Amino acid sequence: MNTLGKFIKNCLFLSTLLLQSKIGLSLPVATAATPPTPNIVFILTDDQDRDSLNYMPRLNELLINKGMVFNQHILNVSLCCPSRTTLLTGMYASNHHVYANDGETGGILGFNNAGLNDKTIGIWLQTAGYRTALMGKLVNGYYEALPAARRNEFLPGYDVWLGAAGNIHNEYNISVNENGVRRTYSSEDRHYGGDLLTGRAETFIKESAQMQKPFFLYLANSAPHNPAIPARRHLGPVVNSVQKYRFRNVRSLRTPAFFEADRRDKPTFFGSVKPETIPQIDELARKRIATLQATDEGIGRLYKAVKDSGQLANTYFFFMSDNGYHLGQHNKSNTKNTAYDESIRVPFIIMGPGVEAGKTLDYLTTNADFTATVVALSGATLPLHIQLDGRSLVPLFSAATRPGGANWRKLVPTAHYVGGGEGGGFPEFFGVRTQRWSFVEYTNLKNEKELYNLAVDPYELQNYIGPQQKQEPPPGLLAKLIDRNLRMKSCQGDTCRAIEDEPIE
C-alpha cells in the first residue's frame, strides 16, 4: 500500500475509534473499509524511574521514536497493588478499594475482598473475540497469600495465564502458575525470569496470529524492582569479591531535589536519607539499569515476533511503569509512595496505527486511561454495571483529532492510603495534579499541605503553603484545589471526568 493509501486507512481507523472512545457501551460503526480489530501488547515494568529510559536502546528505537510519549502521565496511587488494579479495572483506588500491598484491603486478598475477579479488562476483551494472556506479576501475595485450596486459581478472562507465583523478583528459581499448574524453574540462564516471560509471550503472539485471532497481551515484568537481579550476561566485573554492575559511569539523577538542602518548607515526615549513602544509591541505580536490559531485549523480541507474524501494522504497543522511584531525590531512596514527581509521574508510551510518531505530549493522563483506551481501540462492550474512571486517549493520537489544551482534563487525582503492609509506613494523603500545580493534603499529619508551582519550580523545592512559606498562591486557587480534592475522593465514572474538566485557573 502506498503512503497515501496508508494515510487514508489510518484516518478511517481513527474516525471509527473516536466514535467508540466515549466511555460506556461501544458503538458498532459501518465504514467502507472497516480495519481489522487491532492487537494490543502491554509491557509493564515495576518501580521504574524516568531517567532509566535513556538506557533502553530498543525501547527508544522501536517504541519511543515510532510512537508517542505521554510526558505528564500521573499515577492515581504510586504503590504496586493499587496501581496495577487500576490498570486491570480502569477504576481509581477510591472505587476499586485496593489500597495497599497486603492486608484485608491490599494485595490479592484485597483484590478478592473487593470482588474484582470478574471486573477486569481480560473478560471484556475475551468477550469481544480476543485471545488474551496475562504473564508475570498480577498483584502482591498472588499464590502465597491465598488459602492452599485456592492457590492454583487464576482470573477469568485469560486464555493463557502465566502468573508469578512466588520468587518472581528474584528472577532465578522463579515459580509461576501456568493455567492452573504451579511450576518452579531452575537457576539456569535460560530460565531467567524476564527471558522466560518474553519467550512465552513470543509464542502467544505467533500462535494467535496463526489462529487469525486478535490478541491482548498483558506482560508484567519484575524489573527493576528490588532486589533488582540482572541476567548474568548483563553483570559487570567482580572486584575484591564484590559484584559490580555495568554502566560504571551512571549515577542517580542529580536534580536540584537530590538531597534537598533546605527542607524547612516540607512536612514533618520528610525524607531523612543521609548523604553518606550516596555511593550505595549510585550502585543501586546501576544495578536497576542492568536489570532492565533483559526487558529492553524483550521489547525487541516481541516487536520482531509481531512483525514476523505480519501483524505490525495492526498492533498497538503500550509501555508503562506501575510506579516511579526515589533515588536520593527529596532525601528519599529505595521507595515510592510519595506525591512528588519522582514517584507519581511515570513513563507511558503508545505506538501503533494512527499514532503520531516521535511526538511527546504534555496532556495530563493517568493510569486509568490505559484501560479506557484499550476498550476504545478494541470496540469491546462494557457490562452495564461497569464504570471506568479514565478516558480514552485515542483523540490524542493524531493532530487532526487532538483537542486543544482547554478542552482536555484540568487535573488528575493522587492518593496514598494507610491500609497496611508496605503503604503503612508513609502518611496518608489525597491530592490533585494539574499542568501547573501539585497539591496534596496529609490526613494524619495535623492536616499539613504541600503546593508547588511546577511551571517555575519543576523539582518541587518551594512549598507555597509550608511552615516556611515564602509566597502566597494566586487568590482563590487554594480553595479550588481543596474543593476538587474533596470531590474527587467520592466521584465515579462520568462524575470524575466532569470534575476533572472544570477550570482551575
How far is the C-alpha of 114 from the C-alpha of 499, rounded, in Å? 25
Q: Which residues contact 441 (CB under 8 A, 6 or more apart)?
A: 429, 430, 431, 447, 448, 449, 482, 485
User: Is 80 designated active site?
Assistant: yes
Nearest CA to 92 out of 83, 102, 79, 81 is that of 83
Q: Is the Cα torsion angle 368, 372, 374, 377 positive or negative in sign?
A: negative
Radius of gyration of the chain (CA): 22
Burial label for 213, CB within 10 Å (0-12, 13-18, 19+), is middle
- Three cell numbers written together for 205: 503472539
DSSP string, 20-71: H-SSSS------TTPPPPPEEEEEEESS--GGGGGG-HHIIIIIITTSEEEE
Peptide linkage before 224 cis (omega within 30 of 0): yes
Q: Could you give the dihedral angle defined by the CA atoms of residues 152, 155, 159 and 161, in that order, rounded to the nearest 10 degrees? A: -50
Per annotation, catalytic residue among 11, 80, 81, 491: 80
Say which DSSP state 241 is in.
T
> Which distant-in-sequence residues (6+ apart) come within 8 Å of 265 by Cβ?
462, 463, 466, 467, 468, 469, 470
Asked if 369 and 393 count as a contact pair (C-beta separation under 8 A), the reply is: yes
Helices (H), 68-211: 80-89, 93-96, 107-113, 121-127, 193-211
* Contact between 412 and 70 (Cβ < 8 Å): no
The catalytic residue positions are 80
